[in-house]
Amino acid sequence: MSASTITPWVIGNWKMNPVQAQAQQLLNEFKQLLQDHGIAEEKCHLGIAPTMLALSTVQAQLSDAVRPVYSVAQDVSRIAGTGAYTGEVSAELLLDAGIGYVLIGHSERREIFADNRDSLNAKVQNALNAGLKVIYCVGESLEQREAGQAEAVVLQQICDIAGVVAAEQWANIIVAYEPIWAIGTGKTASPEDAQAMHAKIREGLKQITSYGASMAILYGGSVKAENAVELAACPDINGALVGGASLNAQSFHQIALAFANTQ
Ligand code: 13P
């Protein structure tokens, strides 16, 4: 049983998956599981981050679920408002479409799509100013971990955004710790290692913001039904950002149950 009083979050990051027919089937199965084996909203918040293309459809399909399941954008433009920016979707447009949450700083965006400190600062600032809640992702590479730099890298990534987040806006940030070497590899950080890093993140947050003690810190990286219970038992792991396993309704539901049962 976790000692935490923070309501956990379990968010499925679908990345660039799946095709529409599969998405529909996945959501139908998931809604049925929620109906058959309820998970109260106060025990665990749930979110799904589909592709930008599917966001509105997924949101519409989730609207008749037995409980709230929030739609989450996987990214947002570094440009605010509207204008001639081909291919971009701004925070204001997301909000206008009824989307309240966005992932920012996922390592795949940092590594493959060149997100850096400046672009991430702009995205975080725009998203918060528009009224979105941000799931800010941090995490070290294997090389950095092996060089003993994991903590410093992760804490720096958090400090990076401190200059653009107003004092009261920290209440609208969730941090997701996703060690890059654990993403899609089947190698999860051990609960001890994950908890140790989460505790460091918590300490760092407490130094930056008075919300530090109450902010949810999610773990991501090969979270599965099989390891969710152990991870959920760690006091500073307040939920999961789930990639591959969120594409299976039963696995995703079991992960959510694992976190809900700590409450
Ligand atoms: P996997 O769960 O597939 O390792 O992905 C984790 C992740 O990147 C979630 O954002």
Q: What is the CA(52)–ligand 1 centre distance, in A?
A: 17
- pLDDT (0 to 100) of residue 139: 98
- Of ligand 1's listed atoms, the one at least distance from the Cα of 223 is 2
Which residue's CA lies nearest to atom 1 of ligand 1?
Answer: 243
Q: Above pLDDT 90, what percent of the chain?
A: 95
CA distance 19 to 23: 6
Helix (H, G, I), strand (E, B) or coil at 245: helix
Q: What is the CA(144)–ligand 1 centre distance, in A?
A: 19
- Of ligand 1's listed atoms, the one at least distance from the Cα of 103 is 10
Domain count, the chain: 1
pLDDT at 2 over 50: no
The residues annotated with a catalytic role in the active site are 106, 178
pLDDT classification of 263: cutoffs 50, 70, 90: confident
Write down the pTM of the prediction. Answer: 0.97
- Of ligand 1's listed atoms, the one at least distance from the Cα of 221 is 4
Which residue's CA lies nearest to atom 9 of ligand 1?
Answer: 243
Q: What is the CA(204)–ligand 1 centre distance, in A?
A: 24
Domain that holds residue 243: 3-260
CA distance 9 to 12: 10
Which tokens sit at 246? 């969120």
Our mutation pick for probing the ligand 1 site, out of 136, 138, 180, 222, counting the most ligand atoms within 8 A of Cβ, is: 222
User: Torsion angle, CA of 15/128/56/22, rounded to 10 degrees?
Assistant: 20
Which tokens sit at 133? 């809640």
What residue ranges line ligand 1, CB within 6 angstroms?
Answer: 13, 106, 178, 183-184, 220-223, 241-245
Model pLDDT for residues 31-62, shown as the tens digit of each residue: 999 999 989 999 999 999 999 999 999 999 99
Q: How many CB atoms lie within 10 A of CB 247?
A: 18
Which residue's CA lies nearest to atom 5 of ligand 1?
Answer: 243
- In angstroms, the Cα distances linking 3 to 172, 259, 261, 262 are 22, 12, 12, 8
Q: What is the CA(51)–ligand 1 centre distance, in A?
A: 15
Q: Give the CATH number, domain containing residue 122.
A: 3.20.20.70
Model pLDDT for residues 107-162, shown as the tens digit of each residue: 999 999 999 999 999 999 999 999 999 999 999 999 999 999 999 999 999 999 99
- 7 in Cβ contact with 259 (< 8 Å): no
pLDDT at 167 over 50: yes
- pLDDT (0 to 100) of residue 1: 39
Which tokens sit at 239? 């939920």
- 244 in Cβ contact with 14 (< 8 Å): no
Which tokens sit at 111? 């590594």
Model pLDDT for residues 195-237, shown as the tens digit of each residue: 999 999 999 999 999 999 999 999 999 999 999 999 999 999 9
Beta bridge partners of 242: 12
Angle between helix axes 150-162 and 191-208 (nearest 10 degrees) is 30
Write phi, then psi, for 35 (nearest 5 degrees).
-70, -40
CA distance 213 to 57: 35
| DSSP codes joined into one string, 212-233 | TTT--EEEESS--HHHHHHHHT
- SS3 sequence, 106-123? CHHHHHHCCCCHHHHHHH
Write phi, then psi, for 165 (nearest 5 degrees).
-100, 120
Alpha-helix residue ranges (DSSP H) falling in the chain: 20-36, 55-62, 91-96, 107-112, 117-130, 142-146, 150-162, 191-208, 225-232, 249-260
Q: What is the CA(197)–ligand 1 centre distance, in A?
A: 17
Which tokens sit at 231? 């991870």
- pLDDT (0 to 100) of residue 4: 74
Map tokens 């060089």 to a residue. Answer: 147
Q: Calculate the average pLDDT of the chain.
A: 96
